[in-house]
Amino acid sequence: MRFVATLCIWAMALAAHAADWKLMTTSTDLKKVTYWYVDTSSVVVQAPLVKANLRTAWSQTQFGPDNTGYLSTTYISYVDCSRRLLAYTANTYYSDFDSTSAPVHQEEELPLTDLDFAPPRPGTPGEMRINYLCQSYEGSSSKSI
> What is d(CA 65, CA 56) in angstroms, rounded to the nearest whole number?
18
Q: How many residues does the chain have?
A: 145
Q: Which residues contact 51 (CB under 8 A, 6 or more apart)?
A: 42, 43, 44, 76, 77, 78, 79, 145
> What is d(CA 105, CA 34) in angstroms, rounded to the nearest whole number?
19
What confidence tier does 30 reach under pLDDT thresholds 50, 70, 90?
Answer: confident
Average pLDDT score over residue span 105-111 = 96
The full set of domain ranges for the chain reads: 19-137
What CATH number does domain 19-137 carry, 1.10.10.10, 2.60.40.10, 2.40.128.710, 3.40.50.150? 2.40.128.710
Average pLDDT score over residue span 100-111 = 96
Judged against a pLDDT cut of 70, whether residue 138 lies above it is answered with no
145 or 99, higher pLDDT? 99
145 or 62, higher pLDDT? 62
Q: Dihedral sign for Cα 97, 102, 104, 108, please.
A: positive
Judged against a pLDDT cut of 50, whether residue 27 lies above it is answered with yes
* Helix (H) or strand (E) run with residue 131 in it: helix 125-137
> What is d(CA 39, CA 18) in angstroms, rounded to the nearest whole number?
9
**Cβ atoms of 52 and 38 closer than 8 Å:** yes
